[in-house]
Structure 1
Amino acid sequence: MISKMEHVAIIVKDMDRSIQFYSEIFGFKVRLRGSNPNREMAFIYLESQPDMEIELIRDIKFLGEYSENGIVNHLAFTVTNIDEEIRYLKEKEIEFSSDDVKPTLEGGRMILFRGPDEELLQLVERMK
């Protein structure tokens, strides 16, 4: 069962510029910033609504997987048990982008799939 809206991801060209824009113009704060070999990411939030975030993504190495999906990249949902949710969705004939659950930047787990109009969706199990 989905417990909350997790985040919306936006593809950016310059991470510092984007963080400055969202911080100075709208008052967002950075909760987490980091990278892996392929992309740099930052999670920003408003103090008045800390449990809904924007994930900023900048490709370091173009892989196509994220960038091809547009500037607003995906909608993510928090789940408490990602394995149960995957089983449930597979019963509903949902196909996942990968058979593997992948680690998140902060040590949780995530998986991607498509909605009925090919919108990219993500399940996130936060680190406990």
Structure 2
Amino acid sequence: MKYHHIAVFVSDAEESLKLYRDILEFKVVADAIIPDRPEGNFFDQKTLDDIFKVEGAKSRLVLLAPPEGDGTFLEFQQPIHPPVQRKPKETLRYAHTGISELGFEVTNIDQWFEKIQNAGYETQTDYIWETGGIVRSFLFYDPDGNMVQLCENLVDPKEVFA
């Protein structure tokens, strides 16, 4: 089994694209208001209503591929009906159930740290930290407060976790 996609519900797809497309360099492979046609392309109305548990469901779906695509996608959903609701900030941190962060592998972590800070995104620490000589990393928050972690491997993970 391997990852197919990770879905992130966003309050404003355009704001999220400024980070994921423009800064992190993901490529938009699809951008549609769903349901997009009566017979469906991504979703027909009945299926979307069943998934969202509301009659007349409607959402903006944006599918992104990482710059070095491996077949895994990042999916944004910006619900229109029912309207999206932001989670309280404190529930987007550690100590709550659910997916707490998106982690991406990068090279040249120092340049990424500078790029994220210069773009105005809040970082969790004002420095890059190292974990056991294995990885250098930092966390920052996307426009909806979700934690994003960028990691640069210092050694081949296969050697450490074999």
TM-score normalised according to structure 2 size = 0.36
Could you state the TM-score of these two structures normalised by the residue count of structure 1?
Answer: 0.45
- Structure with greater strand percent: 1
Highest RCO, 1 vs 2 (Cα 8 Å, sep ≥ 6): 1
